[in-house]
Chain A
Amino acid sequence: MAFLDYLFSNFSEILDLLIEHIKLTSLSVLIAIIIGVPIGILICYIKKIGRPVLAFANIMQAIPSMALLGFTIPFLGIGTIPAILMVVLYSLLPIIKNTYTGIANINPQMIEAATGIGLTKWQILTKVQIPLALPVIMSGIRISAVSAVGLMTLAAFCGAGGLGYLVYAGIRSINNYQILSGAIPACLLALFIDYVLGIIENLVTPKYNKDKTKKGFFKREKTQKAILIIVGILLIVLLIFPMFFQEKNDREITIGSMDFTEQEILSYMIKDLIEDRTDIKVNQKLSLGSSSIVLSAIKENDIDLYIDYTGTIYGSVLKKDPNSNINEVYQISKKELKETYDLNILNDLNFSNTYTLAVTKETAQKYNLRTISDLSIVSKELIFSPTLVFMERTDCWLGLQKAYPIAFKDVIALDGAPRYLALMNKESDVIDAYSTDGLLKKYDLVVLEDDKNFFLPYQAIPIVNNRILEEFPEIIPLLEELSNYLNDNIMRELNYLVDEERIEPKEVAQNFLIQNNLITKETI
């Protein structure tokens, strides 16, 4: 029942994401058809290229989809294009293969008969080969479309939206209802697409091997055609209609965010604040992924603003050696980011989200742990579950091992919130954490003190492109105003509200702004 409540209270968001998902999926499959069918036909005629083409399509399918998505982002930026490209590449194989098989399996005698009575190659293709291969081609399209619905959930990683957003947001905040509210519509959508394409497959199958005596309302051809027409009209309305209303607003900016709770709350805060106080319209690209993805997005001008942390810029972007001087890190980051990428760091938001290591209370008591130095001594007996990002950064795990004599029994990298679950299930003993992480409060964990000052300072800083400075300078004082109301504790409290109390980030952000009189009215 609680799930139904969740569904109803978030109905419009789920519906929006569903429509977005349908748009993305149908567009991808359409492109895959437009590319795949001609290629399938082509390799029937030019046998030489058949093997390489099929091999290429096979490899495309074998590449992990996340990796493919990751590869494309530096070239194509974030948003719908890399997501569509990924799904198109994945959908090609079944379409090419089935087109090829469908045409290649036609009895060669029939083709000779067609040639013999005087059809041209083109007429043979259009009048004989394609109609005969159509049922096979359609079943390839059907396979592609159904798997595309599932794959498209990954689109959320590069800010394209869709139902995947709910799934990943749910995983991150350990909110099963949110996961289900994304997964169930995706599943139903897949079944529905399978059904609709099944109808098309049935209609294009030549009558000769069809049982004409089919009875029942949904089995009748007329009904099936009617269903198709309705679905077709709906799709056109979904895809074409928004184009007329999508007038490009000059007073419009896009803000991005990484894929954790704090970032999402901040994104809503900034959006609401700007929209309440100015005439600027703010688009959000939520949960784009790690810092590097969001940074590449702002470099491509896919987004205009996002919140990053000084340590990340200093350590992993500018590749500087560890430095615990807060001011120095900020100044150097600001200067060099401008020089290297022509991006601007504004004043900090008055809170830090530093890396830290955390253990359960139990573990802390058992080994008498207070600092990371204490942990180093007993580390041989413990299992460490850091995030993937933590593992690969010199200012994190790689440097940490140099700064402290630390060597764990085992290191199992996990992403996001599942780390906390692993910790609570005693599958691991130590995790990395962000100092503002609400889950620290939720699970009542002990944060170990960085007694050698290894971790970089991670002050939250807005990063904006020149467009903001030039066209929307009024945003800057708003962000400074906001920072007056933030600090580490408040941020952890807000994160806790989302991660533990299951309040939506949007609502948490709004409530915060209203309580502090930053905005005057609700913007719902």
Chain B
Amino acid sequence: MIKFINVSKTFGNKKILDNINLEIEKNKITCLIGESGCGKTTLLKMINRLNDPTSGIITINGKNILKEDPIKLRRNIGYVIQQTGLFPHMTIEENIEIIPRIEKAPQKVMEKKTLELMDMIDLNPNEYLKRYPSELSGGQQQRIGIARAFATDPNIILMDEPFSALDPVTRLSLQDELIKIQNKHKKTIVFVTHDMDEAIKLADKIAILESGHIIQYDTPEMILKAPANNYVKEFVGTKRIWSSPELIKVEDIMIAHPVTCTPEYSIFYCLNKMRMMKVDTLMVVNEENVLLGILYASNLTGITDYDKKAKDFIEKDFLATHPQDSIIDLVGLINEQKITTMPVIDKKGKLKGLITRSTLLTYMSKQFLKDGEK
């Protein structure tokens, strides 16, 4: 949709953006994030040509925007910034309709559109259209800002830290609102923020910038789980993931190579293996690694005939979990069933790993320990 090809930008001697290559996907929310001065806003403003690159090309749907009329380009791209973006001497109605009026849209069409937009942002048109921005709260002003960006029905909407000046409660509700709007209208939204929580909440894709470079461009999940380098790790914060626990998957915490045996093993062998590996259960698998059952040490107490096979004692009625299940599902399951050990299998029943109460405990306890104390 929007493509940056070898884009660089220098102001004087200072390199703000250094050879950026980025493809922003259609109908997704892409967050540009980084510390102040990293170039994220500069990058955003290149899309509506408030800044032009020093070198490189930017295309939208394959067309080089540097060759287009900037006025025409901007009118087809929504633009939302902090409160100052509304014109204080115009009413809400005039603010929303400013571009349609300039483009001489028919009065009726304009009125209808404005009512739709007010409905979209959940403000009563009768109450607010004739008011001035200063008569509205910060959150309401920002909703109007969003409505204005949608007024020309653009495919692309740029948002430059639109919520950063709002109080936390308002910010959260506006984020929810934006998600709701996006689910319905499916725009290509490029969203600059310095708030990682906001980015993780809103974004389909996040681009992390550091001094003019994109150091990681990925889904929120991957950024949390697999930070590209220490900078990202620092920036994201090691504990960050706990604010989005649904992103922690079973496969992230399971014991990847549980101790196994085949059904044909003798009890003697099995007990011996348990002792050696210091486990009290064995996963019983066939040659294809398909899980057949669980052999509990507790089921073998008092057995004298050590030549009996494992298959005679396996528990075939077991609960299993899947690699893509989240930690939340897992904790719920373990609590409900009061079990201590749970195998992880894939769709074909193959054994992938093992979760025990102690692995869960170890993992969760990490968030209370500093990195060095592990």
User: Hey, which bits of chain A sit against chain B, CB under 8 A?
Assistant: 107, 109-110, 112-120, 123, 127-128, 131-132, 206-209
Interface contact A117-B75, CB-CB below 8 Å: yes
Docked complex Cα distance between A206 and B88 (Å): 8
Q: How far is the CB of A42 from chain B (nearest CB, A)?
A: 22
Quick one: given A132-B89, A208-B88, are A117 and B148 in contact (CB under 8 Å)?
A: yes
Minimal Cβ-Cβ distance residue in A for B88: A208
| Cβ-neighbour of A206 out of B75, B79, B89 (below 8 A) | B89
Interface contact A208-B102, CB-CB below 8 Å: no
Within B68-106, the residues touching A (CB, 8 Å) are 71-75, 77-79, 81-82, 84-89, 98-99, 102
Pick out which of these stretches binds chain A: B29-37, B120-128, B129-137, B326-334: B129-137
Interface contact A113-B75, CB-CB below 8 Å: no
Q: A116-B158, A118-B75, A209-B134 are in contact. List 9 more A-B contacts (CB 8 A).
A: A115-B50, A115-B74, A116-B79, A117-B78, A117-B99, A132-B87, A207-B132, A208-B89, A208-B133
Minimal Cβ-Cβ distance residue in B for A209: B134
List the B side residues contacting A123 at CB < 8 Å.
102
Interface contact B87-A114, CB-CB below 8 Å: yes
Per-residue contact bits, chain B 272-312, to A (CB 8 Å; 1 contact, 0 not) = 00000000000000000000000000000000000000000
| Cβ-neighbour of B81 out of A109, A119, A120, A131 (below 8 A) | A109
List the A side residues contacting B132 at CB < 8 Å.
206-208
Docked complex Cα distance between A107 and B86 (Å): 12
Minimal Cβ-Cβ distance residue in A for B74: A118
Docked complex Cα distance between A400 and B330 (Å): 119
Docked complex Cα distance between A123 and B90 (Å): 14
Interface contact B89-A118, CB-CB below 8 Å: no
Q: How far is the CB of B47 from chain A (nearest CB, A)?
A: 10
Minimal Cβ-Cβ distance residue in A for B151: A117
List the B side residues contacting A110 at CB < 8 Å.
84-85, 87
Docked complex Cα distance between A123 and B275 (Å): 83
List the B side residues contacting A209 at CB < 8 Å.
134
The 5 closest A-B pairs by CB, nearest first: A118-B74, A206-B89, A118-B75, A113-B85, A116-B79
User: Hey, which bits of chain B sit against chain A, CB under 8 A?
Assistant: 45, 48, 50, 71-75, 77-79, 81-82, 84-89, 98-99, 102, 132-135, 148-149, 158
Interface contact B79-A117, CB-CB below 8 Å: yes
Interface contact B98-A117, CB-CB below 8 Å: yes
Q: How far is the CB of A419 from chain B (nearest CB, A)?
A: 58
Minimal Cβ-Cβ distance residue in B for A116: B79
Docked complex Cα distance between A128 and B132 (Å): 15
Q: Is the interface of B mostly helix, strand, loop or mixed?
A: helix
Docked complex Cα distance between A113 and B48 (Å): 11
Minimal Cβ-Cβ distance residue in A for B149: A117
Q: How far is the CB of B76 from chain A (nearest CB, A)?
A: 8
With contacts defined as CB atoms under 8 Å apart, how many contacts are there between chain A and chain B in the complex?
64
Q: How far is the CB of A145 from chain B (nearest CB, A)?
A: 24
Quick one: given A115-B50, A117-B148, A208-B135, are A107 and B74 in contact (CB under 8 Å)?
A: no
Docked complex Cα distance between A128 and B87 (Å): 7
List the A side residues contacting B98 at CB < 8 Å.
117, 119, 127
Interface contact A109-B89, CB-CB below 8 Å: no
Minimal Cβ-Cβ distance residue in A for B91: A207
Most buried by B among A115, A117, A120, A207: A117
Can you identify 24 A-B contacts, CB atoms within 8 angstroms?
A: A109-B81, A109-B84, A110-B85, A112-B50, A113-B84, A113-B86, A115-B50, A116-B81, A117-B75, A117-B79, A117-B98, A117-B148, A118-B71, A118-B72, A118-B75, A118-B99, A120-B71, A127-B87, A128-B87, A131-B89, A132-B87, A206-B88, A207-B132, A208-B135
Q: How far is the CB of A130 from chain B (nearest CB, A)?
A: 10
List the B side residues contacting A208 at CB < 8 Å.
88-89, 132-135
Q: Is the interface of A mostly helix, strand, loop or mixed?
A: helix
Q: How far is the CB of A377 from chain B (nearest CB, A)?
A: 78
List the B side residues contacting A206 at CB < 8 Å.
88-89, 132
List the A side residues contacting B74 at CB < 8 Å.
115-118
Minimal Cβ-Cβ distance residue in A for B95: A117
Interface contact B134-A113, CB-CB below 8 Å: no
Quick one: given A109-B81, A118-B71, A123-B102, are A132 and B88 in contact (CB under 8 Å)?
A: yes
Interface contact A116-B50, CB-CB below 8 Å: yes
List the A side residues contacting B48 at CB < 8 Å.
116
Minimal Cβ-Cβ distance residue in B for A204: B89
List the B side residues contacting A109 at CB < 8 Å.
81-82, 84-85
Docked complex Cα distance between A209 and B99 (Å): 25
List the A side residues contacting B89 at CB < 8 Å.
131-132, 206, 208
List the A side residues contacting B149 at CB < 8 Å.
117
Docked complex Cα distance between A109 and B74 (Å): 16
Docked complex Cα distance between A206 and B75 (Å): 26
List the A side residues contacting B84 at CB < 8 Å.
107, 109-110, 113
Docked complex Cα distance between A119 and B148 (Å): 13
Q: How far is the CB of A380 from chain B (nearest CB, A)?
A: 72
Most buried by A among B50, B82, B89: B89
List the A side residues contacting B148 at CB < 8 Å.
117
Q: How far is the CB of B272 from chain A (nearest CB, A)?
A: 73
Docked complex Cα distance between A113 and B85 (Å): 5
List the A side residues contacting B102 at CB < 8 Å.
119, 123
Docked complex Cα distance between A16 and B75 (Å): 57
Minimal Cβ-Cβ distance residue in A for B135: A208
Minimal Cβ-Cβ distance residue in B for A123: B102
Minimal Cβ-Cβ distance residue in A for B79: A116
Docked complex Cα distance between A128 and B86 (Å): 11
Docked complex Cα distance between A208 and B149 (Å): 22
Minimal Cβ-Cβ distance residue in B for A131: B89
Docked complex Cα distance between A115 and B160 (Å): 14
Q: How far is the CB of B2 from chain A (nearest CB, A)?
A: 16
Docked complex Cα distance between A376 and B141 (Å): 87
Docked complex Cα distance between A512 and B246 (Å): 112
List the A side residues contacting B135 at CB < 8 Å.
208
List the A side residues contacting B134 at CB < 8 Å.
208-209
Docked complex Cα distance between A478 and B101 (Å): 73
List the A side residues contacting B81 at CB < 8 Å.
109, 112-113, 116
Minimal Cβ-Cβ distance residue in B for A205: B89
Most buried by B among A116, A120, A131: A116
Docked complex Cα distance between A127 and B134 (Å): 18
Q: How far is the CB of B264 from chain A (nearest CB, A)?
A: 72
Q: How far is the CB of B175 from chain A (nearest CB, A)?
A: 21
Docked complex Cα distance between A207 and B131 (Å): 9
List the A side residues contacting B78 at CB < 8 Å.
117
Docked complex Cα distance between A117 and B134 (Å): 20
Docked complex Cα distance between A109 and B132 (Å): 19
List the B side residues contacting A114 at CB < 8 Å.
87
